[in-house]
C-alpha cells in the first residue's frame, strides 16, 4: 500500500467494520457486553493476520492485542481504539454511505425525510468538494471509534507491506468504552511494556489532540435511618429520605455541569433512591485541576459531618472511589509523548488543536494506571448522533499522523 491508496483502503475497511453491528450495552455486566463486539474483534484479528501480523492475542473479554515487532531501536508505540459504538436509542445497525459533498444539505434518508442541514452543522462547509462518509439517518455512524480502529488497521497494512523501519508497535482494540470505559479498566497492564508512548485514536475533527481530561471520581452516600410506624413515630423516626435531602441541599447549586464549561469541574448528583429504612445518593466528581478535585471530596465529607450532627441517630457513610485521572497529571516531566505528535502533525501539514476533554477516555483510565495516554483525532464530527459524519481527507490524515509518528519515533529514544 502506498500513500495514494490510503483513502481507498480506509473507506473499504471502515465500511466493512461499520457493517458489523457492535453497539455496546452498559446494562449487561459481561465483557464484552454484546456478541457483535467479539465478532468485530475476530474480524480484526483475521485482517491483521492476513497482512502478516503474527503476534495476536484475542482474549475472552474481547480485548485484542496485536504486536508488530520492531526492526530498529525506537521507543515502542501503542495505539488503542474501542470496537463498540454508542447506544443513543436508535438502530444499532449502521448503513454507511459515501457522498461527494457539494456544499448543500445532505439528504441522509429520503423515505424518512432525514437531512443533515448545513445550517445546523456549519463545520461541514470546510469539506466542500470532498468525500464524506455519512449515515442513512437511522443510526450513528460509529466513526467513534471505528475510524480509530480502521486507522490502526491501515497502519498495520502500511508497515507490513512497505519496508518501513520501526520500533515495536502495539495495537490495542478494546470493547465497551461507551458507558463506562470498561474495556480499559479490564485491560491487564502487564501485557504491555511500561515504557510505551501510548495513545488512543478516538478524537474528533482534523488536528484535534487531547492530553487533558477530567480527574474523575464516583461517590456513594449511604444513609440508614430509624423506621417506625408513623402513628407512634414522635421522637423516634429518623427519615433517611429527609436526611438525603439535607445533604443535597448543602451542595453548591452553581458547581454543577449545567453551570460549567472549559476547564471548570463540577459535582453531579446522578441518582437517589430511598425508602423508610435507608436511602442512597450517587454522585460523580469531575475536575481538570487535581487540587480542586480533591477539595470537592473534602467538601462532601464536610457536608456529611454537618448532617450527621443534625441527625445523630442516622448512620451516614460516604465512599469515594477514583474513576480515572487527568492524562496531563500522569505526563510528568517526560513530554515526548506530546512532542512526537506535535512533530508528526506538523510534518504532514496538519495544524494541531489541543483541547481539554470534558469526559473520560480509555486513555484517562490508562493514565490512572500510570501510563499517560493522550487522544489523537479520527476526523469525525457530530458523534453520538445520527448526523455523525467523517470527512475522508481528515480520516486519511489521522492515518498519516500515526504513520509519521512511527517514522520519527527513533528520534525520541531516551
Q: Which grid coordinates belong to 30? A: 459481561
Shortest Cβ 151–Zn ion spacing (Å): 13
- Residues near 199 by Cβ (< 8 Å), separated by ≥ 6? 77, 78, 79, 80, 337, 341, 363, 373, 374, 375, 376, 402
SS3 299: helix
Shortest Cβ 188–Zn ion spacing (Å): 21
Closest by alpha carbon to 207, among 80, 350, 399, 347? 350
Q: CB–CB of 225/278 below 8 Å?
A: yes
Cβ closest to Zn ion, residue 34 vs residue 279: 34
Shortest Cβ 12–Zn ion spacing (Å): 22
Cα–Cα distance list, 125 to 105, 120, 352, 378 (Å):
10, 11, 19, 18
Instruction: Report phi then psi at 52, rounded to 5.
Output: 100, 10
- Kindly name the residue from 25, 84, 212, 287 that is annotated as catalytic: 84
Which region, judged by CB under 5 A, interacts with Zn ion, from 196-204, 364-372, 373-381, 394-402? 196-204
Indicate whether 202 belongs to the interface with Zn ion (CB under 5 A): yes
Active site annotation includes 177: yes
Total residues interacting with Zn ion, rule: CB under 5 A: 3
Which region, judged by CB under 5 A, interacts with Zn ion, from 201-209, 210-218, 296-304, 366-374? 201-209
Cβ closest to Zn ion, residue 201 vs residue 247: 201
Cβ closest to Zn ion, residue 148 vs residue 274: 148
Which region, judged by CB under 5 A, interacts with Zn ion, from 145-153, 287-295, 310-318, 339-347? 145-153
SS3 380: coil
Cα distance between residue 143 and residue 146, in whole Å: 5
Q: CB–CB of 389/150 below 8 Å?
A: no
Closest by alpha carbon to 96, among 191, 169, 6, 13? 13
Closest by alpha carbon to 200, among 381, 74, 400, 360? 360
- Please identify which residue in 25, 84, 136, 145 interacts with Zn ion, judged by CB under 5 A: 145
Strand-pairing partners, residue 64, are 58, 173
Residue 195, Cα to own-chain centre: how many angstroms? 22
Shortest Cβ 22–Zn ion spacing (Å): 12
Shortest Cβ 51–Zn ion spacing (Å): 24
Binding map of Zn ion across residues 252-291, x = CB under 5 A, - = no contact: ----------------------------------------
Which region, judged by CB under 5 A, interacts with Zn ion, from 130-138, 199-207, 329-337, 391-399? 199-207
Cβ closest to Zn ion, residue 18 vs residue 279: 18
Where in 41-100 is the site for Zn ion (CB under 5 A)? none
Cα distance between residue 405 and residue 402, in whole Å: 5
Active site annotation includes 136: no
Cβ closest to Zn ion, residue 150 vs residue 239: 150
Shortest Cβ 380–Zn ion spacing (Å): 9
Cα distance between residue 218 and residue 280, in whole Å: 13
Cβ closest to Zn ion, residue 176 vs residue 202: 202
- Kindly name the residue from 25, 168, 177, 400 that is annotated as catalytic: 177
Note the residues at the interface with Zn ion (CB under 5 A): 144-145, 202
The catalytic residue positions are: 84, 177
Amino acid at each position: 500500500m502506498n500513500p495514494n491508496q490510503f483513502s481507498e483502503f480506509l473507506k473499504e475497511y471502515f465500511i466493512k467494520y461499520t457493517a458489523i453491528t457492535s453497539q455496546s450495552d452498559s446494562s449487561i455486566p459481561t465483557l464484552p457486553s454484546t456478541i457483535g463486539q467479539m465478532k468485530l474483534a475476530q474480524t480484526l484479528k483475521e485482517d491483521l493476520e492476513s497482512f502478516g501480523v503474527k503476534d495476536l492475542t484475542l482474549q475472552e473479554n474481547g480485548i485484542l492485542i496485536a504486536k508488530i515487532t520492531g526492526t530498529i531501536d525506537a521507543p515502542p508505540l501503542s495505539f488503542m481504539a474501542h470496537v463498540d459504538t454508542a447506544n443513543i436509542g436508535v438502530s444499532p445497525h449502521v448503513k454507511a454511505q459515501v457522498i461527494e459533498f457539494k456544499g448543500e444539505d445532505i439528504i441522509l434518508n429520503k423515505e424518512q425525510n432525514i437531512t443533515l442541514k448545513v445550517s445546523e452543522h456549519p463545520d461541514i462547509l470546510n469539506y466542500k468538494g470532498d468525500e464524506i462518509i455519512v449515515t442513512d439517518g437511522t443510526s450513528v455512524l460509529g466513526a467513534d471509534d471505528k475510524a480509530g480502529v480502521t486507522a490502526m488497521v491501515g497502519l498495520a497494512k502500511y508497515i507490513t507491506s512497505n519496508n518501513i523501519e520501526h520500533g515495536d508497535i502495539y495495537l490495542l482494540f478494546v470493547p465497551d468504552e461507551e458507558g463506562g470505559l470498561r474495556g480499559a479498566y479490564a485491560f491487564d497492564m502487564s501485557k504491555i511494556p511500561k515504557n510505551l508512548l501510548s495513545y488512543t485514536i478516538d478524537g474528533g475533527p482534523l488536528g484535534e489532540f487531547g492530553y487533558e481530561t477530567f480527574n474523575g471520581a464516583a461517590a456513594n452516600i449511604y444513609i440508614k435511618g430509624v423506621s417506625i410506624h408513623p402513628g407512634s413515630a414522635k421522637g423516634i423516626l429518623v427519615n433517611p429520605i429527609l436526611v438525603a435531602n439535607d445533604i443535597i441541599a448543602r451542595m453548591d447549586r452553581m458547581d454543577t455541569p449545567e453551570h460549567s464549561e472549559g476547564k471548570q469541574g463540577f459535582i453531579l448528583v446522578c441518582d437517589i433512591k430511598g425508602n423508610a429504612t435507608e436511602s442512597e445518593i450517587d454522585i460523580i466528581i469531575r475536575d481538570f485541576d487535581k487540587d480542586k478535585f480533591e477539595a470537592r471530596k473534602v467538601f462532601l465529607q464536610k457536608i456529611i459531618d454537618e448532617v450527621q450532627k443534625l441527625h445523630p441517630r442516622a448512620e451516614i457513610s460516604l465512599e469515594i472511589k477514583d474513576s480515572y485521572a487527568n492524562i496531563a497529571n500522569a505526563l510528568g516531566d517526560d513530554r515526548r509523548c506530546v512532542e512526537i505528535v506535535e512533530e508528526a502533525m506538523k510534518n504532514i501539514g496538519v495544524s494541531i488543536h489541543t483541547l481539554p476533554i470534558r469526559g473520560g477516555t480509555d486513555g484517562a483510565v490508562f493514565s490512572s494506571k500510570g501510563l499517560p495516554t493522550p487522544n489523537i483525532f479520527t476526523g469525525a464530527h457530530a458523534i453520538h448522533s445520527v448526523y455523525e459524519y467523517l470527512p475522508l481527507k481528515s480520516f486519511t490524515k489521522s492515518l498519516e499522523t500515526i504513520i509519521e509518528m512511527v517514522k520519527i519515533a527513533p528520534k525520541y529514544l531516551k
